[in-house]
Structure formats: structure tokens, C-alpha cells
Structure 1
Amino acid sequence: MRKLCFAMLLVFGVLHWGQAQEAKLKKAFNGKNFKGWVEPENNVWWTIDDGVLHAKSDPEKTGSILWTDKDYNDFVVQADFLYGEGTVDTGIFLREEAQQIQMGISGSLKRDMTGSPYIVGKGYPVEAEGVADILKPNEWNTIKIKAVDNIYTVWLNGQQVVTYEASDVPEEGPIGLQLHPNRDMTTSFKNIKIAELR
């Protein structure tokens, strides 16, 4: 009986995981306006042109975060990103500002840490693997992040580069795109998609 119960739980788990894996990515940015996002007050950082979301530092280099207008539990977020001018330091926040997947040059490490998790208070606990061979610095790249409970899995241009088990993760929260403060830079995003896993 115990073996039967275990087998049923195993099958249920596999089916549930399969459903999560097959969750459909839905367009989260319409390429025309900020629908679905919380446009910052007195926005001077974020503009939209021909389906592309552009971020540019203001003269005071105050930085900005563009948050989704809804919260997510488990999810997949995928976006195309393009490095622009200056020292590009950006990333995607996961449920809160303390949990981030980096794209671009780390201010603390002074090198590209694309795909690596940055956790406030811990820095970069792990580094994404093989990024130097995968990243196309002067072209559009695609990053995909899956957040299931406290497990983050990251793909860059279709190749898995890191899995990280975080701690002190909120159950839900918004997803944010970062324009780092104290930087003179530009960066761009397009084809932003999100799939809710629960």
C-alpha cells in the first residue's frame, strides 16, 4: 500500500511538473505603451519606440525600476535584451528588489555577470557558467528565468547557465526591469513574456 501511494504521488508530481513546464508564455509588453507595468512618476528613463522598450540614465544618474503591475508566485519570465551605450548594468528583479538576475557589468566585480543571481547581502553566491561563449555583446540576446518557490533557473540564448536555491524569498511579488543608479548607460528590451506557473 505504501509503495502504491508513493507511486501515485510520483506520477502526480511528474504530471504537475510537466504542466508547469508547458505553461504558455504570454506577451507582457505590448510594444506600444506601459500597459501591464507601473510607469515611474515623472518618467524620464523609459521610452517605447517601434516595439522596443528603451532605458536611459538621467543626468543625475538616479536609476529606475520598471515593475509589473501585478504580483507573481511561481513564474517564467523571458525577454530579449540589448546592451547600449556606457557601462551597462541591468537585470531582472524577482518578486522584490533584493533578488535579481544580473545582465551586464557588475559594479562590484567590474566584469560581466550576465545570468548570475545577485542577492542583497550576499552579492553573487554563484556565477552563471559559459556566458562568455554564449553572450553576444553587440546583438540581441534572450534571457529566460524560471522561479519556482526559491529555486531560480536561468537560460541565456537557449542554454541553461545556472540554477540557484535562494533563501528568504517572498511568496509573491512583481517582476522588475532595472536601470542601475550611478551609471551613465542605455539598454533595451523587447519580446517580454511571462508564464504563471501557479
Structure 2
Amino acid sequence: MRLTLTVVLLSIVATASFAQKKLFNGKDLKGWTVAGTEKWYVEKGELICESGPDKQYGYLVSDKTFKNFELTVEFKQESNGNSGVFFHCSIEGTKIAGWQAEVAPLNHSTGGIYESYGRGWLIKPETEKEQLLKEGDWNTMKVRMEGNKVTTWLNGTQMVTLDDEKIGAATGKIALQIHDGGGVKVRWKKVEIKEL
């Protein structure tokens, strides 16, 4: 009986450790650090980023680091919605090193993988998949990072998959980006992660 109870308890602990965890609590920026002078704030349970007077790059960076994970975010672009979801990243000031799952206006490679301050575009989605982006409405992006393989989905459809040793060898933080140039506004909600 004790052995059975122990097995059940261990199973519960193991399941809990792989459960989906909220990175954004819907109330404030707890668990995150703002990098740059652009605006990040919470309004009616939504996380909002928008250009500030400097019109530069800005980031909201997780306090924790992650290796293998499945990240799910919902986003809605307003104005010029050029943004991104970084992973395995590190940052100094507003200079970020790592990889980005692109979040951009229609026909600008949302779901593609870009390496900042490195090799640039590594893979873009097929042209016909661009139409999956719902402009002015909520979209769901999923990024799965396991071993050397990263896969992205947009609104339930796989956008790209990439096998890359450099990405697999890295570890780092999650970061949401606001692009430079001004006039950018993006809303986020349900930022959740499951460690693998």
C-alpha cells in the first residue's frame, strides 16, 4: 500500500512539473524585466506594448531561463504590429542575442525563425501560410523547443520546423519584442509555458 501511494505521489509531482505555467499573471509585470524605453503595461488583463517617444527596440524579458519547452501566446496587432517572441536569448541594454519567432504584419513571415545579431533569417513560412494571420484579431502562436528542433504554429497550423545545433546548444530567457520605428502596438494574453 505504501509503495502504491509513493508511486502515485511521484506521478503527481512529475505531472505538475510538466504542467502549463503562466508567465503573465494578467495583473502586472511580475516575473518580467523591461529593457529599453518603450511602453509595457497591463490593461484589463492584457499585456500591451507600444512605441514610446524614443521609437526604439524594446523588450519584456522573463526573469527565468528555459531550455526545452512549449510556449503558447495569444497576440493581437494594432497599428504596425511588428513584434516577436524571443527564446534562448540574453540581453544587454536593448542588444538581444538569441532567436525570434516572428510576429509581424501580414506577408512578413509571422512564425518564421530569425537569429538576432547572428545569421539573420534561418527559415520563413511558405507564402500560402501567411494568410493564417488574422489581422486586427487575436492569434495564437505556439513555439516548441526540444533538443535541436524548434517548431512554430500559428492558429493551429504548423508554420516552420528547424533542426539547428546552435539553437539546441543554447539556453536562455523568453522575451517579447516591440520593433523600432514607432507606431507599433501589440496586445498579448495567455502567455504560458510548459517545460519539457
Q: Is the 8 A contact 2:38 2:57 kept in 1?
A: no
The residue aligned with 1:3 is none
Instruction: Determine which of 79, 83, 86 is the counterpart of 1:90.
Output: 83
Percentage identity across aligned positions?
31
What TM-score results when the alignment is normalised by the length of structure 2? 0.79
Q: Which amino acid aligns with 2:170?
A: E
Q: Is the 8 A contact 1:115 1:131 kept in 2?
A: no
Q: Which amino acid aligns with 2:109?
A: M
CA distance in 1, matches of 2:172, 2:51: 25
Q: Is the 8 A contact 1:152 1:163 kept in 2?
A: yes
Instruction: Determine which of 139, 142, 146 is the counterpart of 1:141.
Output: 139
CA distance in 2, matches of 1:167, 1:88: 30
The residue aligned with 2:6 is none
Residues 102-125 of structure 1: CA deviation (Å, up to 9, x unaligned): 01049xxxx421000012333222
Q: Is the 8 A contact 1:62 1:182 kept in 2?
A: yes
Residues 49-92 of structure 1: CA deviation (Å, up to 9, x unaligned): 1110000101111221101110011011110000111x221101
Q: Which amino acid aligns with 1:127?
A: K
Residues 7-39 of structure 1: CA deviation (Å, up to 9, x unaligned): xxxxxxxxxxxx99xx43221111101112123
Residue 173, structure 1, aligned to residue 165, structure 2: no
Instruction: Determine which of 143, 148, 151 is the counterpart of 1:150.
Output: 148
The residue aligned with 1:117 is 113
Instruction: Determine which of 123, 126, 138 is the counterpart of 1:126.
Output: 123
Residue 75, structure 1, aligned to residue 69, structure 2: yes
Q: Is the 8 A contact 1:127 1:162 kept in 2?
A: yes
Please state whether the residue corresponding to 2:122 is helix, strand or coil: coil
Identify unmatched segments of 5+ residues in structure 2. Answer: 1-13, 90-96
Q: Which amino acid aligns with 1:30?
A: N
4+ runs deviating over 4 angstroms: none
CA distance in 2, matches of 1:123, 1:70: 25
* Aligned-pair CA distance for 1:126: 1.8
* Aligned-pair CA distance for 1:128: 1.5
Aligned residues: CA RMSD:
2.3
CA distance in 1, matches of 2:165, 2:176: 21
Number of matched pairs? 172
More displaced 10-residue stretch of structure 1: 63-72 or 130-139? 130-139
Question: Whose strand proportion is higher, 1 or 2?
Answer: 2
What TM-score results when the alignment is normalised by the length of structure 1? 0.79
Residues 143-162 of structure 1: CA deviation (Å, up to 9, x unaligned): 00001122110111111111
Q: Is the 8 A contact 2:139 2:155 kept in 1?
A: yes
The residue aligned with 2:46 is 52
Q: Which amino acid aligns with 1:90?
A: S
The residue aligned with 2:23 is 28
Please state whether the residue corresponding to 2:121 is helix, strand or coil: coil
Identify unmatched segments of 5+ residues in structure 1. Answer: 1-18
